[in-house]
Amino acid sequence: MMIKPQTPAGFWELTLAKQAIFNNVLRTVQKVYESNAFIQMDTPVMEYKDVLLAKSQGETSKQIFEVVKGDKEYVMRYDLTVPLSRFVAKYYNEIKFPFKRYQISKVYRGERPQKGRYREFYQADIDVIGNGKLSINYDAYVIATISEALSTLGISKYRIHINNRKIIQGLIEYLGIENSSNLFILIDKYDKLSKSQFEQELRELVTQAQAEELLRIMNMTDISVMSLKALHIENELFQEGICELEQVLQILKVLGVPMDRYMINLKIIRGLDYYTGTIFETFLEGYEQYGSISSGGRYANLANAYINKDLPGVGGSIGLSRLFSILDEIGFFEENTLFIAEEVEYLVVPIGKTSEEFAVKVLQKLKRDGVRADIYFEKVKPDKAIKYCIAHNIPNIIFIGEEEVSRRIAKIKNLDTRQESILML
Amino acid sequence: MMIKPQTPAGFWELTLAKQAIFNNVLRTVQKVYESNAFIQMDTPVMEYKDVLLAKSQGETSKQIFEVVKGDKEYVMRYDLTVPLSRFVAKYYNEIKFPFKRYQISKVYRGERPQKGRYREFYQADIDVIGNGKLSINYDAYVIATISEALSTLGISKYRIHINNRKIIQGLIEYLGIENSSNLFILIDKYDKLSKSQFEQELRELVTQAQAEELLRIMNMTDISVMSLKALHIENELFQEGICELEQVLQILKVLGVPMDRYMINLKIIRGLDYYTGTIFETFLEGYEQYGSISSGGRYANLANAYINKDLPGVGGSIGLSRLFSILDEIGFFEENTLFIAEEVEYLVVPIGKTSEEFAVKVLQKLKRDGVRADIYFEKVKPDKAIKYCIAHNIPNIIFIGEEEVSRRIAKIKNLDTRQESILML
């Protein structure tokens, strides 16, 4: 009985042609991370359940893939941040801070598979962790690195929306709003609601005056540090948030990130608990409905579930699988030749058994010359070998027959130009 | 309450210093595989249980990690060959044969963790799959690629032990031995038993005359194709095996694999069912007790659990985690400078808030010049910054103070030579 060779729904597997492009995307991001002095880390794909879920919320644990073996309970990692915090706690004495690491790996979430949402997918994370303190400039450094990665991929139409939790929290304090968690949840949903829906729900949470003031500030156009300062909101947290935001934007500028790649957006919230300062999300302009392709922010304490140390950090993550799917869907790779994989340049094809050894010598010679060459050992008709080249994007074919063996030469035929050249052995 | 930040026993996680070396090992192997025209593949880390275990033996399924989510049953992949067979069946119409793929990924086995055996570990696999037929020369091509990977890693003391299942099966037929599976199991254990133990167990399986003949052939010294031919064993399968072995050794020679890197070993068996022709295992000389670091062979049919096509193949796998552990344990990396990771060359350290922006400009300048540079944004004393450089292997430090800002220069101090040079902005 044959079994259908299917893969689980929502799990990440690409066809060969797309895999070659994805490899290039992944390696490009990796190179940018490394050129910015982030070092590569690798953690187990599953960890002990009680360790990985030490601080998890109810919502997270519903999405967990559980693994059972003997009397041990494991869970698959659902992000790369919790393993990072466990790692930093475990190797605290060995790590020199500030610790800059990257990790490009798959994570697992038992969500219902749908457009842009997978059950197994790649994330490409960078984080900087400080010991006791961490300069605000690293917030800009992380955002600049993410921006460089996206630019290096050839994407021009992305925009990083930056906010600072302190601004929003300060504003809420200043307006005397008490039920701030529900308000955060509502603001987080801003893009998913119509304007009137949002305003209606807002009025159920706050007074008429508070709602008007909130809406006035959140709907400000051409929002800038200057216009935020001009609000003269006398609240310490709010002012601290503005200062931090100003510094982040200033360093982003010095780091050479083009001004049209980022903007202030006070409606960016990023969940309830984790982030404490800078927060950001990134959208492809015209494709905002796919959701953020890269998000992150500043957190006060990375690892307090595992170690009694203050470890502030700032991080960012590119949703590599989601980004790839969007780019693929909008035809980005067809227009962008950057992503043609480094391919084999020559195919050596022995004709008949007696020419096999000489064909191998031709292959060796090409490899010594530093070009990528392959050999086709099957008995094959010339036109079928040429079809194989075309299918694999191999521009040159070299047939080795008796004549070539006796003269110790190889005739290179370029399939595009149809020109022939001779290689002497 | 703090949770201990431990990882599950037997799961692969390295300290930062070792991770940097491991990355280099992995990338070196990857480069060799790619230069030999194997293309990178990636499959989900877990698959449906009924799909992945379609052809599994009882022994395999005991080692499986099972994953449950809702009403679906998954298992973690325990090798990279079964996912390959599922992939080839699924994308059969898209694949151009012979299909040469590599995959370097983690696999999962619920074994008792011990030296050289992990529950999560890296394998680096190459396979060539034919459609209906596959030239014997690919057997040599796979072995030569594995050999090139090991040599490129700087390992000189490995030896690839090559056999052909047809030789052993033919010999058993010729000697009229009937219970061949138990004999295979016994020969497979040859290295684990003392000579007298082996002979005693052998005599329980076969007659005195059969045992003597088997031992005489298996214990031949300086075994070669010529000495095997000289046995004049009149059995078709045996002779076919000799012919294949001769061709493999001949092509290995033409492919430039040094003669002292491989040998014939008739005691190599590699399990009962899967392999049908060439088989090989690889040992580090002097460290044979760690087991094979790379094995593989020829199989008649890759994917007959999923598709009704003849798909013969030949593959090899480097046990990357095991190899790394052995090399680490024997001090290989300390003597081999190949494995110093490409590191940051310059650390820029602003002294005081007012010099931060100019420090970032120095960083940008260095990056534009194509060198890898990092910036240290924390307030730090010079001697502590120098310690940070030493810990991270960064040879040059650049302090940016008021003088540098006003003169728009950067003084580069080399920490090895103590020489200073000036960079103009």
A34: nearest CA in chain B? Answer: B372
CA distance A44 to chain B (A): 6
- Taking chain A, what is the end-to-end CA distance rounded to the nearest angstrom? 52
d(CA B34, CA A154): 25
Distance (Å) from the C-alpha of residue B254 to the closest C-alpha of chain A?
7
- Report the side by side order of strands in the sheet with A66-69: A46-48, A72-76, A66-69, B66-69, B72-76, B46-48
Yes or no, beta carbons of B308 and A2 under 8 Å apart:
yes
Say if the Cβ atoms of B90 and A43 lie within 8 Å: no
Chain A residues within an 8 Å CB radius of B94:
15-16
Chain segment A165-196, per-residue pLDDT in tens: 999 999 999 999 987 888 888 988 888 889 89
pLDDT of amino acid B315: 97
Q: Distances from the Cα of B114 to the Cαs of A265, B59, B118, B320, in angstroms?
A: 53, 18, 7, 16
Contact between residue B157 and residue B140 where contact means Cβ atoms under 8 Å apart: no
Residue A36 confidence (pLDDT)? 95
Interface test with B, best of A45, A50, A351 (most B CBs within 10 A): A45
Distance of residue A36 Cα from the nearest chain B Cα, in angstroms? 7
Strand order in the sheet with B120-129: B39-40, B99-108, B120-129, B313-318, B294-299, B275-284, B158-164, B262-264
Strand locations in B251-307 (E): 262-264, 275-284, 294-299
Min Cα distance B306 → chain A (Å) is 5
CA B44 to chain A, closest CA, distance in angstroms equals 6
> Residue B412: CA atoms inside 13 Å, Cβ hemisphere, count?
19
CB A121 within 8 A of CB A319: yes
Q: What residues of chain B lie within 8 A of the CB of A366, using their CB?
A: none
The CA distance from A279 to the nearest CA of chain B, in Å, is 20
Please tell me whether the interface predicted TM-score (ipTM) of this complex is above 0.90: yes
Q: In this complex, do B11 and A44 lie within 8 Å of one another by their Cβ atoms?
A: yes
A12, A37, A54 ranked by CB distance to B372: nearest: A37
A69 to B72: CB separation less than 8 angstroms, yes or no: no
| Residues of chain B neighbouring A12 (CB-CB closer than 8 A) | 42, 44
Q: Which residues of B touch A306 (CB under 8 A)?
A: 2-5
Output the pLDDT for position B272: 64
Which among A120, A133, A256 has CB closest to B378?
Answer: A133
Per-residue pLDDT at B208: 93
- pLDDT computed for residue A312 by the predictor: 97
Q: Give B-chain residues touching A33 at CB under 8 angstroms.
A: none
Contact yes or no for A357 and B254 at CB 8 A: yes
Q: Is A28 exposed, middle or buried (0-12, 13-18, 19+ CB in 10 A)?
A: middle
- pLDDT in the model for residue A117: 83
Print the SS3 string covering chain A.
CCCCCCCCCCCCCCCHHHHHHHHHHHHHHHHHHHHCCCEECCCCCEEEHHHHCCCCCHHHHHCCCEEEECCEEEEECCCCHHHHHHHHHHCCCCCCCCEEEEEEEEEECCCCCECCECCEEEEEEEEEECCCCCCCHHHHHHHHHHHHHHHHCCCCCEEEEEEEHHHHHHHHHHCCCCCHHHHHHHHHCHHHCCHHHHHHHHHHHCCHHHHHHHHHHHCCCCCCHHHHHCCCCCCHHHHHHHHHHHHHHHHHHHCCCCHHHEEECCCCCCCCCCEEEEEEEEEECCCHHHCCCEEEEEECCCCCCCCCCCCCEEEEEECHHHHHHHHHHCCHHHHCHHHCCCCCCEEEEECCHHHHHHHHHHHHHHHHCCCCEEECCCCCCHHHHHHHHHHCCCCEEEEECHHHHHHCEEEEEECCCCCEEEEEC
Which chain A residues have a beta carbon less than 8 Å from that of B360? 137, 251, 254-255
User: Cβ(B85)–Cβ(B99) under 8 Å?
Assistant: no
Which residue of B15, B35, B392 is in closest CB contact with A91?
B15
Per-residue pLDDT of chain B (425 residues; tens, 9 = 90+): 789 999 999 998 999 989 999 999 999 999 999 999 999 999 999 999 999 998 876 666 778 999 988 888 999 999 999 999 999 999 999 999 999 999 999 999 988 878 778 999 999 999 999 999 999 999 999 999 999 999 999 999 999 999 999 999 999 999 999 878 888 889 888 888 898 999 999 999 999 999 999 999 988 888 999 999 999 999 999 999 999 999 999 999 999 999 999 999 999 988 767 899 999 999 999 999 889 999 999 999 999 999 999 999 999 999 999 999 999 999 999 887 666 666 899 999 999 888 999 999 999 999 999 899 999 999 999 999 999 999 888 999 999 999 999 999 999 999 999 999 999 98
Q: What is the DSSP letter of B354?
A: G
Chains A–B, number of C-beta pairs less than 8 Å apart: 230
In DSSP terms, which residues pair with A246 in a beta bridge?
Answer: none
Q: What is the pTM of this model?
A: 0.94
**Which residues of chain A have a pLDDT value below 50?**
none
CB contact under 8 A, B90 and A7: yes
The span from the CA of B36 to the CA of B30, in Å, is: 10
The residue assigned the tokens 């200057």 is: A226
